[in-house]
């Protein structure tokens, strides 16, 4: 059974820092991996989706990488801002028809 772990569970940084959030999964035979952002009390917003054949995806200040063989993905946030404060979740899919397996998230606080 696929298991997804996110470390750290919480992270606090000063504004302007570059930071990395980690996601690891136990079964490397994934179809794709998705990173989400969740603001307190709100739903999930999709940030980036990486297909199993891809190594990375970029959107603005966000860059997500995928290393299937080691069962890891990282979300890199450049020049962090207070508006980046949120919980970030990763989720993996083992096929185009399967459900997602979620990590428990990393709660990020960026201080001015």
Q: Which stretch binds another protein (CB under 8 A): 13-21, 57-65, 76-84, 87-95?
A: 87-95
Judged by CB under 8 A, does residue 65 bind another protein? no
Q: Which is nearer to another protein, 60 or 97 (CB)?
A: 97
Min. distance of Cβ 73 from another protein in angstroms? 15
Binders in 45-64 for another protein, by CB under 8 A:
45-46, 49, 51
Give every CB contact of residue 24 below 8 A, 6+ residues apart in sequence. Answer: 4, 5, 6, 7, 71, 72, 73
Q: β-strand 106-111 against 10-14: which pairing, if any?
A: parallel
Judged by CB under 8 A, does residue 105 bind another protein? yes
Residue 15: CB atoms within 10 A of its CB come to 13
């Amino acid at each position: 059974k696929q298991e997804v772990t996110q470390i750290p569970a919480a992270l606090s940084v000063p504004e302007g820092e570059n930071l990395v959030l980690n996601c690891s999964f136990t079964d490397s035979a994934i179809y794709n991996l998705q990173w989400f952002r969740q603001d307190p009390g709100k739903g999930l917003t999709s940030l980036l989706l990486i297909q199993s054949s891809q190594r990375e995806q970029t959107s603005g200040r966000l860059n997500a990488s995928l290393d299937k063989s080691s069962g890891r993905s990282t979300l890199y946030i450049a020049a962090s801002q207070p508006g980046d404060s949120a919980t970030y979740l990763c989720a993996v899919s083992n096929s185009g028809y399967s459900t997602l397996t979620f990590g428990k998230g990393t709660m990020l606080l960026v201080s001015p």
